A and B are shown apart, each in its own frame.
Chain A
Amino acid sequence: MKGIKRSTWRISPYLYVAPAFIFMIALIFYPMVLSLLISFNKWNGLGPMTPVGFENYRRLLFADSDFGGSMIATFIWVVMSITVLTVTSLVLALIVEFGVVKKRMIAITRTILFMPMTMSLVSVGLLWSLILNPLLGLLTKVLAILGLISQSNPPDFLGTSSTALLAVFVPVIWQWSGFGMVIFSSAMQGIPEEILEASIIDGCSRWKQIKHIILPLLRPTVAILVTVNCIGGFKAFDILYVMTAGGPANASMVATIYMFRQAFVSNSFGYSAAISVVMFLVAAFFGVVCMRLSQKTENYF
């Protein structure tokens, strides 16, 4: 084996890896280190940086109620992403895969349900701002026709503090359920046909089949989707920025928007870098927790 090892010690593998590796060092790893360094400074984005030690972190963690508020909004968002999105994705996948739709309609149903995924979050945000618009919105009109809200004085879901965060989440459900659906679908297609056939012969109803066979087998996929939605939830920015920009009165200001505002509105780049470092650690922590849990569910079988 030693001979092989020596003979493979040559330059060419490194040449193949080099372009990708250099890009990753320059645009991911080096900036990450830089972010940490900036977070120990006061910096307005243009002039020189002034070192302030842990001052940014002290202020952030102990003396900034706006950051606390933004973290609460972030956690609400993450919890909604994990629970609501996973359930809606599962429902869509069950519809597509388990006989609600006729065989020849499966492909077209999946194509349509996945369609919102192709839009950019900015387009989705603008579209749903229009749909939720109290004066001309599609949703407000439909709800008014159904008699669920007053026709003369329709509520402004995006402009009200108590509903803003929920209202921005609706388009996320609309767009991302199709994504989870595809993942659940591919997992369901992996379930052996014989198990399902055997259960039908034994007189198992479709509902029982879903409850006792399919759902338990899907546990690892649920874990994957929860992890993806958890990390994605911490990263959410575009749609909130387009639809409410954190308003009204900071009601929908998640940590990413707070970070962006601190940097590019208040010109506190050092402070903003500290927020990003804290956010990264929090997201990484919960991401790892989710992954651990998902490994556990895999061992379960």
Chain B
Amino acid sequence: MYKEKGRSREDIIIGNVAMTIAMVFTAILILCSFYPFVWVILNSFKSNREIFANPLALPMKVDFSVFVTVWKIGKLAIAFRNSLLVTTISVFCIVLFASLAAFALSHMRFRGRTAILGLIVGAQVVSGQVLLIPLFKLFTEMNMIGSILPVILVYIGTGLPLSVYLFWGFFRGITPSIYESTKIDGCPDRKYYASILMPLSSAIIGSVVVFQALFAWNEYLFALTFLKNNMAHTVPLQLQVFSSQYLTNWTYLFAALSIAVIPILVLYIFLQKFFIRGLTAGAVKG
């Protein structure tokens, strides 16, 4: 209760008024963040006419068959399969390659180590757009445009610098005496990596997985350029095709959006700690 000491009655009243305004403002912000999701889901249950008559009203009836229809005509099964493949393969490779490299960079001394670290930090500034055209040229020459392979390769390549950097920062925080004592006991490096270092690193692995998975699942520019074949489309691309093809059918567009958004949303609610931590870790680097 010492909080109120030294404050006049007016101060407290003004404080209370300000607090109420701030709380109302907060409620509005929360509504703004949340309601669009609800709006999309509600509108998937309404007919075109209902949407036009009043986009804010509740649907007259709840009929889930629209999702089945949209899933079929949007060929979303293929898009989800492609997105899942692209995301899991690229995230797995990133975690493996980045942790191996960061292990050597943080635990061992060797010639060229500083130079390699410098390149890794510098590579984080490179934006996707500079790489787009030369990569398009390379993949066209290798006849790979239209399959998901180039997209996977590019996600691994562009995801590595930040991931190596994050792992490196984490591994440096692990006390070197563990590594030294296992060395003395004759434990080979690969065994230290697999049975001591990686099990200690679940926090950073979680962050890198969430960060890179979100990127791979949502990426648009490279996918748009390299996946000209409908069968290789990822979810973001298929959604776009959908919106132009069925532009007149608002119900379908709302339903397709719901299908695209709900899986990630559910995942987010379960893993929200990892999401928030993962993105913070990624941002501080700049």
Binding site for B on A (CB under 8 A): 4-5, 8-10, 12-14, 16-17, 19-21, 23-24, 26-32, 34-35, 38, 45-46, 92, 95, 100-101, 109-123, 126-127, 129-131, 135-138, 141-142, 174, 178-179, 182-183, 186, 200-203, 205-207, 224-225, 227-228, 231, 234-235, 237-238, 241-242, 256, 259-260, 263-264, 269, 272-273, 276-277, 279-280, 283-284, 287, 291
Task: Contact check, B120 vs A183: say whether CB atoms are below 8 A apart.
Answer: no
Q: Which residues of B contact A (CB under 8 A)?
A: 2-3, 5-7, 11, 15, 18-19, 22-23, 25-26, 29-30, 32-37, 39-40, 51-52, 54-56, 96-98, 100-101, 103-105, 108-111, 113, 116, 119-120, 123, 125-138, 140, 153-154, 156-158, 160-161, 164, 189, 214, 217-218, 220-221, 224-225, 235-237, 239-240, 243, 250, 253-254, 257, 260-261, 264-265, 267-269, 272, 275-276, 279-280, 283-284, 286
Q: A117-B279, A118-B268, A122-B236 are in contact. List 14 more A-B contacts (CB 8 A).
A: A17-B100, A27-B131, A27-B156, A28-B126, A31-B138, A35-B130, A38-B137, A100-B19, A114-B276, A116-B36, A179-B279, A201-B5, A256-B129, A276-B132
Set of chain B residues within 8 Å of A131, measured between Cβ atoms? 36, 39
**How distant is A282 from chain B, measured CB to nearest CB, in Å?**
11
Q: Which residues of B contact A10 (CB under 8 A)?
A: 110
Q: How far is the CA of A139 from the CA of B267 in the complex (A)?
A: 28
Q: Which of B51, B157, B254 has the most CB of A within 10 A?
A: B157
**Interface of B: prevailing SS:** helix
Alpha-carbon gap, A142 to B56, bound state (A): 9
Q: In the complex, what distance in Å separates the CA atom of A64 from the CA atom of B255?
A: 43
Complex contacts, A130 vs chain B, CB 8 Å? 40, 250, 253-254, 257
B3 touches A123 (CB 8 A): no
Asked if residues B22 and A95 are in contact (CB atoms below 8 Å), the reply is yes
Mind listing 19 A-B residue pairs with CB under 8 Å? A4-B109, A12-B104, A112-B30, A116-B36, A126-B239, A126-B243, A136-B55, A137-B55, A138-B36, A138-B39, A138-B56, A179-B283, A183-B284, A201-B6, A205-B11, A206-B15, A237-B129, A263-B133, A264-B225
Complex CA–CA separation, A27 to B160 (angstroms)? 10
Note all chain B residues with C-beta closer than 8 A to A13: 104, 108-110, 113
Given contacts A206-B15, A242-B240, contact A272 B280 (CB under 8 A): no
B218 to chain A, nearest CB (A): 3
Q: Pick the contact of A269: B5, B98, B133 (CB < 8 A).
A: B133
- In angstroms, Cα B110 to Cα A23, docked, is 20
Given A122-B240, A224-B284, decide whether A284 and B214 contact each other with a Cβ distance below 8 A: no
Residues in A whose Cβ lies below 8 Å from that of B280: 182-183, 186
Residue of A nearest to B40 (CB): A127
Pick the contact of A136: B250, B261, B269 (CB < 8 A).
Answer: B250
